[in-house]
Amino acid sequence: MSKRKAPKSEKNEDIVEALIELAEYEKNVERNRFKEKAYRKAATIIAGLDKRIKSGDDAKALPGVGDKIAKKIDEILETGKLRKLENIRADDKSTAINLLTRVSGIGPAKAKELVDAGIINLDDLEKHKDKLNHAQLIGLKHFHDFEVKIPREEVKELFESVKKVADSIDEEYMMEVCGSFRRGAKFSGDVDILLCHSEFKHSDKHHGDLLHRLIKKLTEKELVTDKISEGDTKFMGVAKLPKHKHFRRLDVRLLPVDEYYCGLLYFTGSNIFNTEMRAHAHQKRFILNEHSLRPLECGKPGAPLPVSSEQDIFEYLDYPYKKPEDRD
């Protein structure tokens, strides 16, 4: 997945970008996941507004916006900037950690380790490749390409190319692009494909070579250029279309056919929508996750319910159906 996905808002873009930057700081430097989640939730809610926020009090009427975030919004509205962010940007260590975590495969702990060793920029990383693992080396190799957002049409083209290869192997493959793309985003940070096969069910002990044979063929066709990791059910790597100049992050996840639609719902997102739907399921005495929908029986999850579409899940839960583009 892309490491930095900021929601967009034409009306409140300055506020949204500031909150996302604060979230990145809390995640990468302070390692405070609670504050990170709070900033991201507020940013997502504000990004969905179709009108300009006029004050912090105005923002506090929104879910996920408390006093502290409201005060920061007031400061942005009144001064056009945020003192806390200026202090963060002026701190060399914080800036270096935030930069290094943008390299795919480098998390906050590794970034701090590198900065503590005196490695503060990409040039330093190039000189100390011995400190990086395989995934991080690929992230460094393609850093500039991974920073470039993928236009929707290019995601479609890459997906269609992958699907064409899959169909040539076995027409029983089924797949779809998930994430923000499926929710209608104009640009994506990476391409996440959910894959299944009609003969692969949860009860099967072996996955066969369903994923491996697809990746093998994609590599032979030179669509896949680098492998970060490859297991029986998940591939992480790099892809490139012949007529395009940028290399792109590609993830392919294999699910059993009887888990496919719960997985499709979950991996489409958004995170806020998933949280709300799982909470609703619990109120209705169900357990919903990326694998299954189960009724709660005497406080314990029962057998998975048969699910043959996303709509089935909404109907079981008596939850109004929302199209993917309405799940932000």
The domain locations on the chain are 13-146, 150-255, 261-326
pLDDT at residue 48, as a whole number: 82
- Which among 86, 53, 50, 55 has a CA at the least distance from the CA of 71? 55
Compute how many other C-beta atoms are within 10 angstroms of the C-beta atom of residue 155. Answer: 23
Residues 35 and 222: beta-carbon distance below 8 Å = no
72 is catalytic: yes
Answer yes or no: same fold for 13-146 and 261-326: no
What distance in Å separates the CA atoms of residue 316 and residue 152, rounded to the nearest whole number? 33
Compute how many other C-beta atoms are within 10 angstroms of the C-beta atom of residue 206. Answer: 8
pTM of the model: 0.84
- Which among 72, 56, 67, 63 has a CA at the least distance from the CA of 20? 72
Q: In which band, very low, low, confident or very high, does the pLDDT at 208 lie, cut at 50, 70 and 90?
A: confident
Query: Which one-letter amino acid corresponds to residue 238?
Result: V
Helix (H, G, I), strand (E, B) or coil at 44: helix
Q: What percent of the chain has pLDDT over 90?
A: 88
Helix (H, G, I), strand (E, B) or coil at 295: strand
Compute how many other C-beta atoms are within 10 angstroms of the C-beta atom of residue 64. Answer: 17
Between 52-66, 165-179, 200-214, 251-265, the lowest mean confidence (pLDDT) is in 200-214
Residues 271 and 215: beta-carbon distance below 8 Å = no
Query: CATH second-level architecture of 13-146?
Result: Orthogonal Bundle (1.10)
Which CATH number does 150-255 carry? 3.30.460.10
Handedness of CA 272, 277, 280, 281 (dihedral sign): negative
Token reading at 56:
């912090």
Query: 5 pLDDT exceeds 70?
Result: no
Say which CATH superfamily domain 261-326 falls into.
DNA polymerase, thumb domain (3.30.210.10)
- Which among 108, 140, 136, 142 has a CA at the least distance from the CA of 121? 140
What distance in Å separates the CA atoms of residue 95 and residue 76, rounded to the nearest whole number? 21
Residues 222 and 201: beta-carbon distance below 8 Å = no
Task: Spell out a b/e string for 225-261, using b for 16 or more CB atoms within 10 Å of the CB, else e.
Answer: bbebebeeeebbbbbbeeeeeebbbbbbbbbbbbbbb
pLDDT at residue 205, as a whole number: 67
Q: In which band, very low, low, confident or very high, does the pLDDT at 251 lie, cut at 50, 70 and 90?
A: very high
What distance in Å separates the CA atoms of residue 299 and residue 290, rounded to the nearest whole number? 20
Token reading at 267:
């991996």
What distance in Å separates the CA atoms of residue 23 and residue 84, rounded to the nearest whole number? 12
What distance in Å separates the CA atoms of residue 200 and residue 206, rounded to the nearest whole number? 9
* Cα-based distances in Å from 268 to 183, 187, 240, 288, 326: 7, 15, 23, 14, 11
Residues 277 and 267: beta-carbon distance below 8 Å = no
> Which of these is catalytic: 27, 72, 112, 240?
72
Helix (H, G, I), strand (E, B) or coil at 104: coil
Average pLDDT over residues 242-271: 96
- Owner of token pair 């994923």: 211
Helix (H, G, I), strand (E, B) or coil at 234: strand
pLDDT at residue 1, as a whole number: 38
**Percent helix, percent strand, percent coil in the chain, to nearest 5:** 50, 15, 35
Q: What is the residue-averaged pLDDT of the chain?
A: 93
